[in-house]
Amino acid sequence: MKKGFSASVNEVVKKSRVAKGTFYHYFKSKDELIVELYKVLMFEIEKNCVTEYKGESAREYSFNVFGSIVKWFITHPHKFNYIVIFETSPYIKEVVGTVGETLKGPLANTMKKVDMGMLKAYPPEMITFFDFSFTRAAANYFLSFPEPRKCFEERFRMVFDMYWDGVSQN
């Protein structure tokens, strides 16, 4: 919807062609819908983009996972836009805070790499937020070009190297 988070429940149900009673059967409030949609998108990314660590170098593993995430963002710009608006919304920060469930997987992944000595020993939650920021900034960079996917294929290695030089132990 063009109104974003300020749309009323009445506007949401009208646009989605769902009865108001049905909406409230599934969600207690508009805020719950907003959070649930964010969680669905974040878990979709995790399911489609994050692979198990299989002994490859931390750099190559991170390159592949982050590349997959950034490619997902530029392939799904409307979903990406929702995620960015959610994560940067002062309203969401005030009403919801952080959505802890969406941080568990990324935080565990970061802690594993710190424990193995692959990443600098910064607080894992700080690295995780830095990782989130990196993937969003990279996607925005590529989406600023007329052909984002082509630009991604040509420049992601360079963009990733800039990130990796800041967090890696080596």
pLDDT digits (tens, 9 = 90+) for 110-141: 777 777 777 777 787 788 888 889 999 999 99
Residues 6+ apart with CB under 8 A from 118: 58, 168, 169
CB hemisphere CA count around 159 (13 angstroms): 23
pLDDT digits (tens, 9 = 90+) for 47-100: 999 888 788 888 898 899 999 999 999 999 999 999 999 888 876 677 666 667
The pLDDT assigned to 2 comes to 65
**pTM for this model (two decimals):** 0.84
